[in-house]
Structure 1
Amino acid sequence: FCGPSADQFFERVVSACQHRRSADVMQRLSPGDLVFIPCTEAAFIPGSVVDVGSDDTVGIELEPTASGQCERRRVPRGEVLPRFARGDRSTSQDNTSLMHMNAATILENLRLRHRQDQIYTYTASVLLAVNPFKEISGLYGEDQCARYRGKHIGALPPHPYAIS
């Protein structure tokens, strides 16, 4: 995706995400709410609200690390992004259907789909691809091409054949 139209598209997406982020942040936060907070190493990390301070900060308990350690942090309310619990680690084929559409939930959706070898995801009619760094059997070929031929976008899982 290149050219001036790409820049305009991404500006619109960022603007829409920022608008939705402002609305999401203004929602009432309560202890137990699931959230993301910014992290320099991992972009965003998941946690849950422990308390909401009168000083416009939020106490967050991060999800346990691999070693089982829990960490608590206090962050400015404006840095807290809501997240939706997916108990079964299901994903959305289209980012626009996420309950909370913000940078953190989009990245989380892409990460989970990548782990499940679902490397293509829509954001409306735009197809996003994440390099699997391996071959995924049955992803391409005449059978797949025929499967998508004549189908409307969204009728089948995201794939380059759906938009070609």
Structure 2
Amino acid sequence: PRRPQRPTDHPPPAGEMGTKVNIIVGSHVWAEEPDVAWVDGEVVKINGDEAEIQAANGKKIVSKLSKLYPKDMEAAAGGVDDMTKLSYLHEPGVLQNLATRYELNEIYTYTGNILIAVNPFQRLQHLYDSHMMQQYKGAPFGELSPHVFAVADVAYRAMIHEGRSNSILVSGESGAGKTETTKMLMQYLAYLGGRAATEGRTVEQQVLEVRQPVLSHARQL
């Protein structure tokens, strides 16, 4: 049997929200691995400021203690719908949560009032039909599963109640899905606007008329 070692205090990794973490032999951690960014494993040996990790993929990794992130061994099997519910809010924990939800076709996840969308690279029509729009119309933010409609609904309600303009920022790398997300936002806003005619055009028609220049701008960004 391996001799127990005393906990070794060390500065928490960046992104650990200031929480001091003790890494000891037997701790389950995330360690950097060039091929896949992060791997999870168990600390099997500590030597000064370095640790040896037996990774889940079979590799043995040596890493600085200050570069290790604790792994939540009690994390929900299907992930969490809001990152603020994570026990450890750090890069590998966030990425693991997004990957877990993505495998279940849950492409939306909140971080507080920010919505993270992962491009599914496939059609998920059931997420955007009229029934789904009806579900999110007027629903309190966070009551239903994360969705782009929820963000649009909050922005629209705030605009109506406060009587002033509002905006939604859609940001991401090329190919991340900004254009499609903008389409869904405008489709939902048109739905909320109803079909009352103004100068012979319905609200939906007016919104869709300005959609093309908006989408062109989204592609350029």
TM normalised by structure 1 equals 0.78
Tell me the C-alpha RMSD between the 2 structures. Answer: 1.8
Cα shift readout 1:65-115 (whole Å, capped 9, x = no counterpart): xxxxx2212110011011112576220100111001001100110111111
SS at match of 2:131: helix
How many residues in Structure 1 have an aligned counterpart in Structure 2? 140
> Are the structure 2 counterparts of residues 133 and 161 from structure 1 closer, same or farther at C-alpha, using a change threshold of 3 Å?
same
**Matched residues in 2 for 1:58 and 1:111: separation?**
27
Cα shift readout 1:120-151 (whole Å, capped 9, x = no counterpart): 00011000000011112411111001101111
8 Å contact 1:35–1:46 — kept in the other structure?
A: yes
Structure 2 counterpart of 1:72? 60
Which of the numbers 26, 37, 40 marks the counterpart of 2:31? 37
Counterpart of 1:20 in structure 2: which amino acid?
E
Superposition deviation, residue 22 in structure 1: 5.0
> Are the structure 2 counterparts of residues 153 and 18 from structure 1 closer, same or farther at C-alpha, using a change threshold of 3 Å?
farther
Structure 2 counterpart of 1:114? 102
In the TM superposition, 1:39-58 aligns within 5 A as: 39-53=33-47, 55-58=48-51
SS at match of 1:138: helix
Q: Following superposition, which runs of at least 4 residues in structure 1 exceed 4 angstroms of deviation?
A: none
Give the stretch that moved more between structures: 83-92 or 40-49: 83-92
**Matched residues in 1 for 2:76 and 2:14: separation?**
28
Structure 2 counterpart of 1:14? none
**Matched residues in 2 for 1:89 and 1:121: separation?**
15
Q: Which runs of 5+ in 1 are unaligned?
A: 1-16, 65-69
Counterpart of 1:18 in structure 2: which amino acid?
A
Structure 1 counterpart of 2:87? 99
Cα shift readout 1:4-51 (whole Å, capped 9, x = no counterpart): xxxxxxxxxxxxx9352553xx41112222111112222211111112
Q: Which has the higher contact order (CA 8 A, sep 6+)?
A: 1
Which of the numbers 95, 103, 112 marks the counterpart of 1:124? 112
**Matched residues in 2 for 1:119 and 1:86: separation?**
22
**Matched residues in 1 for 2:32 and 2:17: separation?**
13
TM normalised by structure 2 equals 0.59
The structure with more radius of gyration: 2
8 Å contact 2:15–2:89 — kept in the other structure?
A: no
**Matched residues in 1 for 2:50 and 2:149: separation?**
47
Percent same amino acid among aligned pairs? Answer: 26
> Are the structure 2 counterparts of residues 134 and 118 from structure 1 closer, same or farther at C-alpha, using a change threshold of 3 Å?
same
